[in-house]
C-alpha cells in the first residue's frame, strides 16, 4: 500500500519537537474535551467549531483539578477552532482559547495549531489508524508552562451501529516553562458510541492522565473522567456534542458540562467530539 509522502512531514516535525523538548503537565487539554475519529475534513473543506465547558463542582485555587493556576470551580472555557482540509488525508486547525474564572471577566488563555491525518481509506486496515500533533501557547495566568507539544495516535473500529475510538498513547511535553526539564507525560482519550438514529448517537467518553512515563502520579492525584455524551444535529443545521463529565479521583474535578458545536462540514458525517 502506498501513502502520499506529505503525511509524514507533520508527524516528523511533531515527533522531533516532542523528543527534544513537562510540570505535572496535563496529558489532556481541558479546553478540548473532544475525541478524534478517523475521518478527516477532505481537501479544501472548512469546519468552524466552538468547544465549551463549565466546571460545576471543582477545586479551590491551587487545590487540583483541571486548572493549575486559577480555581477550577465555576471555570468557563471556550475554544474557537477553525479546521481546514489541506489534503484528502491531512487537516490543519487553529484554536483560540478563552476562559472566565469564577467572578472575573472573559480572558485570553492561549492558542494552538495542530495537524491531524490518516494512513489509509476507512476499512483498508483491520483498525483505522491515524495521527495527531499539536503545539500550544499558554498565557502565564492560566498555565505555568507557556509552550507545550502533544502527539498521539488515533484508532477507530466501526462494527455495525457501534463505533470504538481510542486516542492513545497521548504524549505531552513542555518546551518553555517551569517544567521544561521534565520527561513526557502520558494520557488517553476514548469513546464507545451507538447510532440511535440517522443524526443521533449516544456515547460514553473517557479522558485521563496517569502522569509522567517514568514516575506515575499516585492514583488519588491523577485525573480521570467519564463523560456520557449525545451527538446530534440541532436545528437541522448544526452538528453538536453535549456531555456530562464526572471525575473518578480526588485529583479530578467532580462534575462538569461540555457542549461542542460544528458550524460547517457534512451533516451526514458522524461527529466524534
What pTM does this model have?
A: 0.86
C-alpha cell at position 136: 500550544
pLDDT reported for residue 32: 92
163 belongs to a structural domain:
yes
The pLDDT tens digits of the residues spanning 32-91 come to: 999 999 999 999 999 999 999 999 999 988 778 999 889 999 999 999 999 999 999 999
268 belongs to a structural domain:
no
Quick one: pLDDT band at residue 28, thresholds 50, 70, 90? low
CA–CA gap between residue 46 and residue 31 (Å, rounded): 21
Total of domains in the chain: 1
pLDDT reported for residue 153: 96
141 belongs to a structural domain:
yes
269 belongs to a structural domain:
no
273 belongs to a structural domain:
no
- CA–chain centroid gap for 222, Å, is 17
Contact 63, 142 (CB under 8 A): no
The pLDDT tens digits of the residues spanning 195-226 come to: 999 899 999 999 998 888 877 888 888 999 99
Contact 264, 47 (CB under 8 A): yes
Could you tell me the residue range of the domain that residue 81 belongs to? 5-262
The pLDDT tens digits of the residues spanning 236-246 come to: 889 999 999 99
Indicate which CATH number applies to the domain containing 75. 2.40.160.40
116 belongs to a structural domain:
yes
CA–CA gap between residue 100 and residue 145 (Å, rounded): 19
Least confident of 99-113, 191-205, 215-229, 241-255: 215-229
271 belongs to a structural domain:
no
272 belongs to a structural domain:
no
Q: Where would I find the beta strands (DSSP E) of 60-119?
A: 76-85, 90-100, 107-118
CB-based contacts of 17: which residues, under 8 Å, 6+ apart? 135, 149, 173, 175
Amino acid at each position: 500500500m502506498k501513502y502520499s509522502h506529505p503525511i509524514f512531514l507533520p508527524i516528523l516535525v511533531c515527533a522531533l519537537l516532542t523528543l527534544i523538548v513537562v510540570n505535572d503537565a496535563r496529558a489532556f487539554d481541558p479546553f478540548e474535551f473532544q475525541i478524534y475519529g478517523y475521518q478527516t475534513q477532505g481537501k479544501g473543506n472548512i469546519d468552524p467549531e466552538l468547544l465549551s465547558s463549565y466546571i460545576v463542582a471543582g477545586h479551590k485555587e491551587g487545590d487540583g483539578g483541571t486548572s493549575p493556576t486559577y480555581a477550577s470551580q465555576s471555570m468557563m472555557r471556550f475554544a474557537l477552532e477553525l479546521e481546514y482540509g489541506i489534503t484528502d488525508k491531512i487537516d490543519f486547525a487553529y484554536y483560540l482559547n478563552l476562559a472566565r474564572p469564577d467572578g472575573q471577566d472573559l480572558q485570553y488563555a492561549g492558542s494552538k495549531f495542530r495537524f491531524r491525518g490518516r494512513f489509509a481509506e476507512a476499512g483498508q486496515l483491520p483498525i483505522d489508524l491515524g495521527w495527531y500533533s499539536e503545539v500550544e501557547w499558554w498565557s502565564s495566568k492560566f498555565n505555568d508552562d507557556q509552550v507545550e507539544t502533544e502527539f498521539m495516535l488515533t484508532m477507530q473500529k466501526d462494527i455495525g451501529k457501534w463505533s470504538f475510538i481510542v486516542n492513545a498513547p497521548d504524549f505531552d511535553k513542555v518546551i518553555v516553562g517551569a517544567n521544561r526539564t521534565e520527561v513526557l507525560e502520558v494520557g488517553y482519550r476514548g469513546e464507545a458510541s451507538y447510532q440511535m438514529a440517522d443524526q443521533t448517537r449516544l456515547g460514553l467518553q473517557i479522558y485521563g492522565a496517569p502522569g509522567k512515563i517514568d514516575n506515575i502520579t499516585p492514583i488519588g492525584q491523577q485525573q480521570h473522567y467519564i463523560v456520557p455524551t449525545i451527538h446530534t444535529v440541532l436545528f437541522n443545521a448544526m452538528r453538536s456534542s453535549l456531555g456530562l463529565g464526572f471525575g473518578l479521583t480526588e485529583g479530578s474535578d467532580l462534575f462538569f458540562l461540555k457542549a461542542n458545536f460544528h458550524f460547517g462540514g457534512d451533516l451526514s458525517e458522524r461527529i466524534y467530539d
